[in-house]
Amino acid sequence: MISIQTIMTHFDLSKTSIRAAQVAASLAHAYNARLYLLHVREPYPRHGRIAGGFFEAVQQKTGGEPSVKLQDVIPQNIRKELTLEKIEIVGSPVHKVIIEKVKELSVDVIVIAADESRGLIDGLKKGLAEHVIQQVPCNVFVVKSQKMPSSS
């Protein structure tokens, strides 16, 4: 039997990453494991001339991007039964930040959302999930996006 003491999930508020966080919470509950909820956001551009200074204005007014609300990811009734830590990091590229954090925290399993293809160009480059899967030293649980049934 394998020992799963620490589980991490990365979420960015996409539907699939929220599902991945919920799967991670279920696994953490089942294995009585610590759960790390990791949210990585890339820094705003430093040059204020981009978009007429819009990014700088938003960052000054809000202190950065809005914080992700834990209750938006995992409901309170499940959260209260878990040992969890929410980690928010500003960094780039996102996949490298995730990989570094997995190593730093000695994570046993990472639960990650499958990349959602947005067109031809996405098929030609590696997505976040693919980078993470290939480079983390731990086991990986991939959560696929839910497809709507086709009507025929």
List the single range of 82-86, 92-96, 114-118 with lowest mean pLDDT: 114-118
* Under 8 Å between Cβ of 9 and 21: yes
- State yes or no: pLDDT of 75 exceeds 80: no
pLDDT band at 6 (very low <50, low <70, confident <90, very high): very high
Total-model pTM: 0.77
- Report the C-alpha gap between 107 and 101 in whole angstroms: 8
CATH code matching the domain that covers 6-143, chosen among 3.20.20.70, 3.40.50.620, 3.40.1390.10, 3.20.20.410: 3.40.50.620
Distances (CA, A) of 73 to 43, 83, 100: 22, 15, 23
